Structure 1
Amino acid sequence: MSVEGFVRACALSELEEDMPRRVELDGVPVSVVSTEGEVFAIHDICSHANVSLSEGEVDDCTIECWLHGSRFDLRSGKPSGLPATRPVPVYPVKIEGDDVLVSVTQES
């Protein structure tokens, strides 16, 4: 399903609060996260260590890289602590019914 550059990532009902879900959309690894009443999509690869962010923990609208502990803001992709210094892309999300749609062609 594709709507204006958005593709279906998963069902909203499949997401557990604060539990990242890794999906691949058009060849792009994405972590989809439901937290604090919103759904976010962030590039799933840490900008510091090239590991999956979806294996990390979510807290206070951030996701932590499990390897070295860098945290990234789910809204902006900006790191909030070392060792990461570069942000990771975040992607626009739309909810239509039970579908979570993400556009990996547009970064927020």
Structure 2
Amino acid sequence: MVYGSEAFLPTDLNYGAPRVKAYNKQGDEASLEDTMDQLNEVRDVALLRLAKYQQALRQHDSRRVWGWAFNVGDLVQRLIQSNKNRHKLSLSWEGAYIVVEVL
């Protein structure tokens, strides 16, 4: 077996099988060019579908996100990002910080 092409038996070549006689090199090259054009079109369609899927996924993930507006003087807490020297029962948030400036 050969990838991308069809194998011929030596007897087919010697005795002129119908598929050997019907082979047309120019038609084969034209068919290859058409296939390459279709491949580019399929890639473009796939990119459009991917973009549409990612947009829908982004909208789905952000549908329950609430916007927060902080004012000067509000008390806030900060999520602790590092788990170094911590165990599972440690607090997740630190401090009560006062908002000094809103950017």
- Relative to the length of structure 1, the TM-score reads 0.18
Q: Which has the higher helix share?
A: 2
The structure with higher relative contact order (CA 8 Å, sep 6+) is: 1
Choose 1 or 2 for highest CA Rg: 2
Q: Which has the higher strand share?
A: 1
